[in-house]
């Protein structure tokens, strides 16, 4: 087996932490939490074209306006769903009363949740900084799985979720000053 790249170490840590957290809480509680997360993510993706258009009236950068629109919708919907499911969570007992099956299913659920989180990070990365892979990502063994998850998430997103043409822009011009070029790019007129 080849050595692990920087991305692999971070990815495995995310998967492990997510799995252990879900193991401790159990499947039922995790499923309710992820229901809120998925509902909020879907709402953010589906509302982004409308809310993003409104945000672009006030923010010049299409990328920042779109990301901010998704973040606001996500937060509002997540809090609303969490409030509704909180009474169900209270009915699930903590500690030793959570069965071994519930905990085992919780661990598996946590690993899947970690993979979805990695896919979301890769999706944002691919759409905001497309092009050549950085050194810490080259040769990563877990990246193809995270990228496949990102592609799945992208296929579920409605048209226009990302700034038009952002994924088609070349990355060569970013190599000298990535932060400065990213700021310049975000200040470009989206029209």
Among positive and negative, which fits the CA dihedral 178, 184, 187, 188?
negative
pLDDT at 189: 59
DSSP label of 3? P
User: What's the CA angle centered on 55, arms 129 and 50, to 5 degrees?
Assistant: 95
pLDDT band at 125 (very low <50, low <70, confident <90, very high): confident
**Confidence category of residue 25, pLDDT binned at 50, 70, 90:** confident
| CA–CA–CA angle 48, 53, 59 (5° rounding) | 110
> What band does 108 get if pLDDT is binned at 50, 70 and 90?
very high
> Exposed/middle/buried for 151, CB within 10 Å: 0-12, 13-18, 19+?
middle
pLDDT of residue 160: 61
Average pLDDT, the chain: 79
Higher per-residue pLDDT: 134 or 101 = 101
Specify the pTM.
Answer: 0.60
Q: What is the pLDDT of residues 109-123, one digit of tens each?
A: 999 999 999 998 888
DSSP characters over 135-154: TTTTT-SSHHHHHHHHHHHH
Question: Euclidean distance between the first and final Cα of the chain, in Å?
Answer: 48
Is the pLDDT at 78 greater than 60? The verdict is yes
Proportion of the chain above pLDDT 90, given as a percent? 25
Residues 6+ apart with CB under 8 A from 124: 67
């Amino acid at each position: 087996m080849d050595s692990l790249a920087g991305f692999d170490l971070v990815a495995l840590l995310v998967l492990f932490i997510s799995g252990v957290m879900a193991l401790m809480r159990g499947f039922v509680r995790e499923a309710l939490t992820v229901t809120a997360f998925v509902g909020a993510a879907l709402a953010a993706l589906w509302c982004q074209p409308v809310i993003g258009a409104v945000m672009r009236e006030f923010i010049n950068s299409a990328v920042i306006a779109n990301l901010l629109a998704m973040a606001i919708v996500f937060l509002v919907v997540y809090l609303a769903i969490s409030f509704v499911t909180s009474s169900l969570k209270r009915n699930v007992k903590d500690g030793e009363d959570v069965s071994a099956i519930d905990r085992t299913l919780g661990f598996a659920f946590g690993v899947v949740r970690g993979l979805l989180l990695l896919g979301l990070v890769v999706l944002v990365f691919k759409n905001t900084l497309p092009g050549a892979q950085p050194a810490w990502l080259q040769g990563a063994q877990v990246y193809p799985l995270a990228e496949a998850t990102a592609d799945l998430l992208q296929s579920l997103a409605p048209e226009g979720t990302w700034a038009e043409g952002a994924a088609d822009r070349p990355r060569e011009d970013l190599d000298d000053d990535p932060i400065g070029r990213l700021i310049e790019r975000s200040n470009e007129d989206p029209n």
